[in-house]
Structure formats: structure tokens, C-alpha cells
Structure 1
Amino acid sequence: LEESQERSTSGNGTSNECRIYTNKELMKLLGVESRYLKNLRDNGYLSYSRHGDKFWYTQNDVDTFLQRFKYEAFACGGGAIC
């Protein structure tokens, strides 16, 4: 897996393949605890792969989750105080 991740980045820093995160990496990336990730998995909000007691998340899994809960910015127009 680590070899795959190393190969996935070409010399110019762009990814040729999908990034894969471990549970620990994703917790650090999102700034959440393992219990929160478990709740996201259990409730079907975050897709994952599992092998034994190890969980793996693709970049697509993370992107889909973030898009699902994305809220668009809003602003008042015309200089009005909101």
C-alpha cells in the first residue's frame, strides 16, 4: 500500500492514482476522533474498505463525504447589514 501511494505521485507533484488514507491519517486530516469516524461509517455517511480490523478510505470516499455535507456561502447584497 505504501509503495502504491509513493508511486501515485509523479515528479511534478500531481497524483496519477487515488490517494488512500488509514483511519489514523483520516482522523488527523479531518481533526476528528475515531468514534466520530465510526459513527460516519455506521450511519453510511462515509464509504470505506475494510480488511480485518483495518479501515481504508480513498480520496474519492473523502471527497464524496465532504461534498455531501457542503454548504454554499451566502452574503447580503447592496451593502446591507445582515
Structure 2
Amino acid sequence: MQPSGTLLFRAALALVLGGALGNAIDRSWQGHVVDFIHLHWREAYHFAIFNVADCAITAGAALLVVAEIKRSRAAA
């Protein structure tokens, strides 16, 4: 393994940090984060509201879990 982590681990961190930075920029420039994806099921169930930064953070967190599982399996 590379000393700085695998490519998967580094990509996951980049997504998380990039998403966090995107949200921070929105907050500092506009005072709030602009969301544009609102998932719902008819009028009964409203799931969540996302923006691109939120999607990047979510994908990065999922990839961090995958990278850790792969690392632990390789170490065993």
C-alpha cells in the first residue's frame, strides 16, 4: 500500500473535503446553502434536500467505508 493511502481512499477524502468546502463557500458568500434536489413520495413522505456538495460528501463517506473494508481485508 502507498504511504499516503490508496487511490480509493484519496478520492473519497477529496469528495468529502470538496463537498464541505463547497458548502462553506455557499454559506460564506450567500449566508445559506442552496439546495436543489428534493426527494419525496407524493405528499406523504419527504425524504431529503440535496445539493452537489451534499452528494459529494455522501459519496465520499460511502467510499471511505469501502476503502476501509478493502484495507482490513488486505491486512488479514
TM range (shorter): under 0.3
Structure ranking higher on relative contact order (CA contacts 8 Å, 6+ apart): 2
Which protein shows a greater Rg? 1
| TM-score (normalised: structure 2) | 0.26
Structure with the largest fraction of helix: 2
